[in-house]
Structure 1
Amino acid sequence: MDDQELGFKAGDVIEVMDATNREWWWGRVADGQGWFPASFVRLRVNQDEPVDEEALRVGLQGPEAGDVEAQSSKDQMRTNVINEILSTERDYIKHLRDICEGYIRQCRRRADMFSEEQLRTIFGNIEDIYRCQRAFVRALEQRFNREQPHLSELGACFLEHQADFQIYSEYCNNHPNACVELSRLAKLSKYVYFFEACRLLQKMIDISLDGFLLTPVQKICKYPLQLAELLKYTHPQHRDFKDVEAALHAMKNVAQLINERKRRLENIDKIAHWQSCIEDWEGEDLLVRSSELIYAGELTRITQPQAKSQQRMSFLFDHQLIFCKKDLLRRDVLYYKGRVGMDGLEVVDLEDGKDRGLHVSVKNAFRLHCRPTGESHLLCARKPEQKQRWLKALAREREQVRLDQETGFSITELQRKRAMLSASKQAAGKPKALGRPYYLTRQRHPALPTSSPQQQGSVLAEPKRKPTTFWHSISRLAPFRSSCRPPAHPWWD
């Protein structure tokens, strides 16, 4: 043992003289003093109570004394976690205030350099986040027990404000746009000097603006980790246990919702590009009502009044079903052939046999029926398993719409315009018929999701074009071969 290390045995009472270091404390016991590991001892709650050395001695401790010591250690760890949560929240509030007062306020004074739309792109809704976080911190401090921190009940605060945390979704989705705009402004010296002056006036640390704006994205992902740590050191009998457990589940859902919305918004560019590659598109843009591809595959559409059968590539999005027709020669080119709005429609599973409405025999069929208007669409799949996939996909589409309504998810007009503008720029100067359009295909059929709507089987992809066999087939015809042969010449023989 080192000369400066303090030797002690179980049951010894150590007088702590220096506890500035978290891991090693300087203390005195009997006639000796030195360094000792803080994790090997526990603090006495009442320094005046007499010490029962026999009760504290490890070898002679009963089960009740051991439980008390373990609980005391757990309470101390819970106190540490609570202090960490409050400390980081106060630091975060200061960080948000510096951005709002140090940058946004100064930018608004320079209308010659920044428009409101530009400020919205750079800073998103960070001012809304600042207001919500201030209310959240006030609620945390009201529930903080200063005398006995481990008895603080913070779980209820997270549950009360869980809806407010959803505003982070808009911020996280906008953050890539902010990075692009800041990268563009960084090439202009006057903006570089301006942002640096803002930082110095607010006395902020030496980090670029894009670094400061990343903090909210990191913060919302940290809450589940903090709550998991708090739950770890919360006794099941603690009054806060159930609330912390529920809060952890709620914040995980918030983080999952934000990730799902981010994925959805990333897909709208692909959907816009796919639409731009469809020939003869009619009506409103897909993104006006839809933002998610649910399922895709071939269906036979039987239409009235002659019960005409039409083979169609069908694409089920939220709120609508799109019908397309393949080009006879170029199978990777699609022509728009109509759509069906899914809102208000009822899915009817039909048995194989004769359909009463159209008086035709159907197999693997189902009907989309609207009771108020009487509108009806009869669709048939090739195989029974394909029909079942479609029925499950149609149920998922309704569930997706319901979840979007509950969570308030929607595509803004600005996001839709940006996606369509980007798609039009990609298509500019390139004929649709000669290009390689994005094609909506199905992967190998996975297990269809039952609870998590974000696990989709349909994806946007760019397939490899298969070489056409048309001219190869033509060249095999005998008349073409004989007529294309060169004339015979004597000196060739």
Structure 2
Amino acid sequence: MAEKGASRGTLRRLWSLPRRRRGTTGCSRPDEIMHQDIVPLCAADIQDQLKKRFAYLSGGRGQDGSPVITFPDYPAFSEIPDKEFQSVMTYLTSIPSLQDAGVGFILVIDRRRDKWTSVKASVLRIAASFPANLQLVLVLRPTGFFQRTLSDIAFKFNRDDFKMKVPVIMLGSVPELHGHIDRSQLTEDLGGTLDYCHTRWLCHRTAIESFALMVKRTAQALQAFGTELAETELPNDAPSTRAVLCAHTEKRDRAKEDMRLALEEGRGVLESVSAPLAQDPERSVNQDQLDNQSTVQRLLAQLSETEAAFDEFWAKHQQKLEQCLQLRHFEQGFREVTATLDVVSQKVAAFTDVGNSLAHVQHLLRDLAGFEEKSRAAVDRARALCLDGERLIEDKHYAVDSILPKCEELRQLCDAFAAEVGRRRGRLGRSLELHGLLETSMRWSDEGIYLLASQPVDKCQSQDGAEAALQEIERFLETGAESKIQELPQILQDYESILNQDLTEHVRKVFQKQASTEEMFRRRQASLRKLAAKQTRPVQPVAPRPEALTKSPCPSPGIRRGSENPSSEGSVLRRGPYRRAKSEMSGRQGRSSSAGDEEESLAVLRRHVMNELLDTERAYVEELLCVLEGYAAEMDNPLMTHLISTDLHNKKDVLFGNMEEIYHFHNRIFLRELETYADCPELVGRCFLERMEDFQIYEKYCQNKPRSESLWRQCSDCPFFQECQRKLDHKLSLDSYLLKPVQRITKYQLLLKEMLKYSRSCEGAEGLQEALSSILGILKAVNDSMHLIAITGYDGNLGDLGRLLMQGSFSVWTDHKRGHTKVKELARFKPMQRHLFLHEKAVLFCKRREESGEGYEKAPSYSYKQSLNMTAVGITENVKGDAKKFEIWYNSREEVYIVQAPTPEIKAAWVGEIRKVLTSQLQACRDASQHRALEQSQSLPLPAAPGSSPSRGTARNIKKLEERKTDPLSPDGYVSAAPPPPKAPEKGRDDAVTSSTSESSALSRKRFTLQGFASIKGQKASPTSPDKKAKRHQVKSDPTPFGVRGWNKTSHSPEAPGDDADWSSAEEPVNSSDAEEDGGDPPKKLVPGRRTVVVGHVEAGPGVLAVRSGDVVELVREGQEGLWFARDPGSGKEGWVPASSLSPHLGKSSSAQCLSSSESSPGSAVLSHSSSCSESGQAPFTELQG
């Protein structure tokens, strides 16, 4: 408020200047023009009337200084409108000053050439309309004899008509006029010498009045602007203050420009008015000219003073706005700095961890140093802001009371932050010192244990060997003075300020470990001293079998520790008859002690592996953090933006992938969990198994690695990377650190192998083996995914195909069957080279294409060719005796692909994996069928038969029997199937290669097809030679598996057999895969009558008829759930049998004969899925030939 009052006082002083000036001059009429409220009459307004010159103000003066107005001879005077006449009179009387006008005007009326009547009318009109005081009226009457005589007579007789407030004098000639007014005050037409030009006078009057009006408007504008500035409230933020300052500055510049133009115009008017005197200094100038000159000079002076006052006012106002802007900047900076200091203070307060190892403390110290370095900018900014505030105070800022406390607060915050950082650094320094002692002690203990474990037991049996080992131990113990913790209480007291519960426990454990190591050394020394002492004693010849001692294993440290009992040793020496028994006991103890020493050595090695795992894990986490903070975070730093090339903009996720996610997993979870296994390294496999799913994040990182490397090659010369590398003081560039995650995930399996090597007999060996297998599986998945992302040309989503199981390159021959004709490609001696990708739902055939380039760009790509839906795929394990070939056939052998693997092992792996997929699909389809059958059995009751009605339990028993029969892993399982009509046998394919294990052989002797769940009842096979071939018989699928209605039926149109010369051998059995698809009538619906049993029931439950394969039963009537009530004609027994185990034809058929699984080729297996297994009848994947 004080500031605003001061501004208004300055403003009042500004506008009081013109008014004070007005009182100091005798010519105040122009000043009145500036300040009067009524708009004055100006020459410009009546310029046309003034140009008529029926009256003018010549500038002459009477003897008493009265202004003289001259009315020259104007014949049309009487025709002048009253309004024009009145305006001209008013204007002329307003020109002289108030002082001169107050004396009165002298009117000179020239009517020498006019008539008396006109003289009379002119005088009367003037007298009636003159707006000012009159002092004297001088009339030059007509000069003609007649008119002069007439005017004398008329004036005498009409004197009363001319009675006015002032005298009217009739003059007969100009000399008489000179008697009343000096010639120098009269114009030339009245016989005077006064220089008067009416046009010049009119121009001067117009210019002066225009300038006066400009001065008035300028003054009013300045007054309004000054009022606005004085009443302006100061904004509360820097942008608004800056906007107000800019707006006011712009208005001030416009006002200054208006004043400059007014001054220039005034100077021009003054020069024009003063021109005659400037041209002739001795020339006499009338009073009006002098008045005009003084008026212009006065206006110019007023304008200059106004400008000076305005400049003074503006300087103060501008200073106030600038100080306000400085204050707002200071306040804004104060808010930002305090907020930043609060954040960094909270962060430094969070540095409470004192570390759990030497490396951890060093890492924390580096973190604290890095944090202090990053926070230094905020602290420096706070100190700089404090200095700015002090400068504002020195410059006498108007807001000193607001600035000074903020400066004090900034100093306190900076000092508090520095003190807190110092305290944290001191605590970590003490922790580093303590952990250094602990690490030294642990290293001494580990080295001591390793020394004890590495001393050869056999060399210690001699005196020299024992003495050498003893000296080696003594030399090592001499180093313990500097390495060991001397007194535990003293350590706990010295480092009490930093000890927490975990660290205290760690100190106690280290001390206990050190004490245990010392105890082990003491026992080993005692044993070695006794061994060295025993060697000096003579051997007693009374021992019954002294060779027993020499043949026993060399005593280990464990034996020596066990023989320290003096009573036992004395007993041996004193009692000879027991020496042999003692010797044998010592041998057993030696073996036991040797095993204990070996386990101790393995424990040392396990600890070494665990230490390496922990150390490398900590280093790995630190390197990831270094990359994320030193590179990734700097890409968002505005100060580094100018160093980043355009190719890197918005590419941080491409360059670094999900490295941040990997870092958080290892830093927050995995490293901490690993540290919990430091004391039991043999159990570390559990840690890997518990977090195995989290390791899937590496697959995403590796899949992004090609894009990352490509971007790095484009931008590796970017100054940004060079600057970051310089700040981090790294010797290697960023790409080396981007490779760290790939190297780390491959390092784990090496460490697990090493740990497993030393933990074979430990509790966690199984977990280590499982963890190793899981890590290898992840590596395989990562490797497979790298190939998967290189597939091009596939229109669908690869993620919809399920998990990628295997991938690899193979040689492929194809055979396509179209209608009744086969299109063979076996004539191509050179097979197609295809890269196969086995998914859970499909197998993809791709063509491998090598690429040229560097790094990941050199990796091959795969052009998609075709895909096979796994729901319509079957396999034949062996083809023509080649151990590396197998068949993948599709859509009921409509398409057959002979695949040759690089090695038999790869083939076995692929066949096994495909078998797993098909078996899982078979199980899923069977479960769906059983679920629907169960729902139908619950909704529809089973019809009762005379004398035998199957109960709900009977149906369940049959269901359980069906489940056992359809279980592909059951050795005595059956799958019901209805065979086709009898058909002449054909040559079958030779499947000569057997499986390597009994389990795989048992599984390979089954044939699975979801069309009919076909299987063959097993009988025990007799031994055969490797060249002897078993036969397989044709089995056709039942259109309704398990007799459940609602399944899609698959009809097979009869086909003419093709030429199979290139596909089968002469010894191929009639049940070849080709024979299944080449002929056969559609399955028929069962009707009551005699039917042949295709698959028998070895054991029967209540209500179930026990039958054997090949028996003939008589069907009585059909029940629910695919069951028929049947009677055995031979035994007369009755019961329920499943329709799927019966042939739809009467009598026996050789083609319907059931063979045991051992009758088929031991090495053959045909696994297939039919499209009929799904109720929706999904079509297979569309084949795309390339």
In structure 2, what is the Cα distance between the partners aligned to 1:343 and 1:173?
A: 26
In structure 2, what is the Cα distance between the partners aligned to 1:98 and 1:82?
A: 24
Q: Is the 8 A contact 2:893 2:1073 kept in 1?
A: no
In structure 1, what is the Cα distance between the partners aligned to 2:555 and 2:711?
A: 69
Query: What is the aligned partner in structure 1 of residue 720 from structure 2?
Result: 194
The RMSD of aligned alpha carbons is 5.1
Structure possessing the higher radius of gyration over alpha carbons:
2
Query: What is the aligned partner in structure 2 of residue 119 from structure 1?
Result: 652
Amino acid aligned to 1:299: D
Task: Choose from 125, 146, 158 the match for 2:688.
Answer: 158
1:145-166 CA distances to partner (integer Å, 9 max, x unpaired)?
A: 2xxxx56631110111122222
Amino acid aligned to 2:474: I
Query: What is the aligned partner in structure 2 of residue 259 from structure 1?
Result: 783
Tell me, yes or no, if structure 1 residue 311 matches structure 2 residue 823: yes
- State the 1:231 CA deviation: 1.5
1:100-121 CA distances to partner (integer Å, 9 max, x unpaired)?
A: 2221222244598466862232
Tell me, yes or no, if structure 1 residue 53 matches structure 2 residue 528: yes
In structure 2, what is the Cα distance between the partners aligned to 1:340 and 1:310?
A: 21
2:683 is paired with a residue of what secondary structure?
Answer: coil
In structure 2, what is the Cα distance between the partners aligned to 1:92 and 1:287?
A: 33
Q: Is the 8 A contact 1:108 1:114 kept in 2?
A: no
In structure 2, what is the Cα distance between the partners aligned to 1:261 and 1:340?
A: 18
Query: What is the aligned partner in structure 2 of residue 141 from structure 1?
Result: 675
Task: Choose from 218, 221, 233 the match for 2:743.
Answer: 218
Give the 5 Å matches for 1:88-103.
88-103=616-631
- State the 1:248 CA deviation: 1.8
Task: Choose from 648, 658, 662 the match for 1:129.
Answer: 662
**Could you say which structure has the greater relative contact order, defined with CA pairs below 8 angstroms and 6 or more residues apart?**
1
Query: What is the aligned partner in structure 2 of residue 227 from structure 1?
Result: 752
From the superposition, tell whether residues 286 and 175 of structure 1 become closer, same or farther in structure 2 (CA, over 3 Å): closer
Amino acid aligned to 2:617: E
- State the 1:10 CA deviation: 4.0
Query: What is the aligned partner in structure 2 of residue 487 from structure 1?
Result: none
In structure 2, what is the Cα distance between the partners aligned to 1:250 and 1:56?
A: 49
Q: Is the 8 A contact 2:699 2:785 kept in 1?
A: yes
From the superposition, tell whether residues 308 and 60 of structure 1 become closer, same or farther in structure 2 (CA, over 3 Å): closer
- State the 1:9 CA deviation: 2.2
1:52 is paired with a residue of what secondary structure?
Answer: helix
From the superposition, tell whether residues 229 and 368 of structure 1 become closer, same or farther in structure 2 (CA, over 3 Å): closer
In structure 1, what is the Cα distance between the partners aligned to 2:775 and 2:1050?
A: 43
- State the 1:320 CA deviation: 5.9
In structure 1, what is the Cα distance between the partners aligned to 2:815 and 2:684?
A: 54
Query: What is the aligned partner in structure 1 of residue 474 from structure 2?
Result: 14
Tell me, yes or no, if structure 1 residue 180 matches structure 2 residue 705: no
1:92 is paired with a residue of what secondary structure?
Answer: helix
In structure 1, what is the Cα distance between the partners aligned to 2:773 and 2:689?
A: 10
Query: What is the aligned partner in structure 2 of residue 402 from structure 1?
Result: none
Query: What is the aligned partner in structure 1 of residue 731 from structure 2?
Result: 206
From the superposition, tell whether residues 98 and 287 of structure 1 become closer, same or farther in structure 2 (CA, over 3 Å): same
In structure 1, what is the Cα distance between the partners aligned to 2:606 and 2:844?
A: 55
Q: Is the 8 A contact 1:93 1:130 kept in 2?
A: yes
1:234 is paired with a residue of what secondary structure?
Answer: coil
Unaligned runs of 5+ in 2: 1-464, 482-515, 533-552, 557-589, 826-831, 846-864, 875-890, 895-978, 990-1007, 1012-1038, 1040-1045, 1066-1071, 1077-1162, 1167-1185
1:205 is paired with a residue of what secondary structure?
Answer: coil
In structure 1, what is the Cα distance between the partners aligned to 2:1059 and 2:729?
A: 63
In structure 2, what is the Cα distance between the partners aligned to 1:151 and 1:262?
A: 33
Tell me, yes or no, if structure 1 residue 299 matches structure 2 residue 815: yes
From the superposition, tell whether residues 107 and 312 of structure 1 become closer, same or farther in structure 2 (CA, over 3 Å): farther
In structure 2, what is the Cα distance between the partners aligned to 1:55 and 1:152?
A: 35
- State the 1:247 CA deviation: 1.5
Amino acid aligned to 2:527: D
1:27-67 CA distances to partner (integer Å, 9 max, x unpaired)?
A: xxxxxxxxxxxxxxx96544555713366669654333333
In structure 1, what is the Cα distance between the partners aligned to 2:824 and 2:796?
A: 20
In structure 2, what is the Cα distance between the partners aligned to 1:125 and 1:256?
A: 20
Q: Is the 8 A contact 2:654 2:704 kept in 1?
A: yes
From the superposition, tell whether residues 375 and 114 of structure 1 become closer, same or farther in structure 2 (CA, over 3 Å): farther
Tell me, yes or no, if structure 1 residue 65 matches structure 2 residue 65: no
Tell me, yes or no, if structure 1 residue 342 matches structure 2 residue 904: no
In structure 2, what is the Cα distance between the partners aligned to 1:99 and 1:221?
A: 20
2:744 is paired with a residue of what secondary structure?
Answer: helix
From the superposition, tell whether residues 9 and 133 of structure 1 become closer, same or farther in structure 2 (CA, over 3 Å): same
2:815 is paired with a residue of what secondary structure?
Answer: strand
In structure 2, what is the Cα distance between the partners aligned to 1:128 and 1:209?
A: 18
- State the 1:375 CA deviation: 7.9
Q: Is the 8 A contact 2:655 2:711 kept in 1?
A: yes
Q: Is the 8 A contact 2:682 2:765 kept in 1?
A: no
In structure 2, what is the Cα distance between the partners aligned to 1:140 and 1:9?
A: 40
Q: Is the 8 A contact 1:169 1:261 kept in 2?
A: yes
From the superposition, tell whether residues 99 and 108 of structure 1 become closer, same or farther in structure 2 (CA, over 3 Å): same
In structure 1, what is the Cα distance between the partners aligned to 2:554 and 2:1047?
A: 81
- State the 1:124 CA deviation: 1.7
Q: Is the 8 A contact 2:555 2:594 kept in 1?
A: no
- State the 1:229 CA deviation: 1.1
- State the 1:242 CA deviation: 2.2
1:238-287 CA distances to partner (integer Å, 9 max, x unpaired)?
A: 33222222212222222222222223334x14xx3xx8xxxxxxxx4696
In structure 2, what is the Cα distance between the partners aligned to 1:298 and 1:60?
A: 70
- Over the matched positions of the two proteins, sequence identity in percent amounts to 23
In structure 1, what is the Cα distance between the partners aligned to 2:735 and 2:610?
A: 30
1:345-373 CA distances to partner (integer Å, 9 max, x unpaired)?
A: 4757679xxx99xxxx9999999979977
Amino acid aligned to 2:765: F
Task: Choose from 574, 590, 602 the match for 1:74.
Answer: 602
Q: Is the 8 A contact 1:368 1:376 kept in 2?
A: no
Give the 5 Å matches for 1:443-462.
none
From the superposition, tell whether residues 229 and 321 of structure 1 become closer, same or farther in structure 2 (CA, over 3 Å): closer
- Work out the number of aligned pairs and report it: 322
Unaligned runs of 5+ in 1: 1-5, 21-41, 276-283, 324-337, 392-446, 451-461, 463-493
Amino acid aligned to 2:657: G
1:399-442 CA distances to partner (integer Å, 9 max, x unpaired)?
A: xxxxxxxxxxxxxxxxxxxxxxxxxxxxxxxxxxxxxxxxxxxx
Amino acid aligned to 1:158: F
- State the 1:219 CA deviation: 1.0
In structure 1, what is the Cα distance between the partners aligned to 2:527 and 2:873?
A: 77
From the superposition, tell whether residues 185 and 151 of structure 1 become closer, same or farther in structure 2 (CA, over 3 Å): closer
Query: What is the aligned partner in structure 2 of residue 38 from structure 1?
Result: none
2:763 is paired with a residue of what secondary structure?
Answer: coil
